[in-house]
Amino acid sequence: MSKAVKELPDWGEMPHRPGLYLSLSHGRDFPQEAVKQRGFPGPKIGPLLYVQTHYAQRLVLRFANKRDTRRFFSNASAPVGELDVVEGTLVYGNKCYGDWDVCYIAPEFCSANIKD
C-alpha cells in the first residue's frame, strides 16, 4: 500500500516542499491498543490540494500529481489516496493514528529552507 512509515516525513519534522499536509500522531498498532502517554508519531502526508471526509469513515486525499501520490500510496493509479477511519483511528501503513490534523506548511518553514 505505502512506503514504510519510518521512511516518510515524521510528524515533528518539516517537509522539503511547502503546501497542505495531513499530519498523523498518537499512533498505535491496532485501534484498541492501550497506549502509554501519546503513542508514536506518524508521517506528514502531502503536499495536498485538499482533504475530504466521507461520513466520518473515510478520508480522500487529493494530490497535485501522481508522483506525490505514489510516494504515500505506491499502488495509486490516480492522484488520489484514501484512508479509512476504524474505531475512531485513522489507518495508514498498517498503523492506526488517534489524532490527525490538516496544516499548511509555508515555504520559510520547509526543511530545505531552514538554516542551522
Q: What pLDDT is recorded for position 9?
A: 62
Beta partners for 22?
45, 102
CA 65/CA 63 separation, integer angstroms? 5
Q: What pLDDT is recorded for position 115?
A: 57
Q: What pLDDT is recorded for position 61?
A: 98
How do the pLDDT tens digits run along the chain, 116 residues long? 444 455 566 656 888 899 999 999 999 999 988 877 788 999 999 999 999 999 999 999 999 999 999 999 999 999 999 999 999 999 999 999 999 999 999 999 887 666 55
**pTM (predicted TM-score):** 0.85
CA distance to 11, 56, 75, 116, per residue, from 26 (Å): 10, 18, 26, 28
Q: What pLDDT is recorded for position 1?
A: 43
Residue type, 80: V
Q: What pLDDT is recorded for position 14?
A: 86
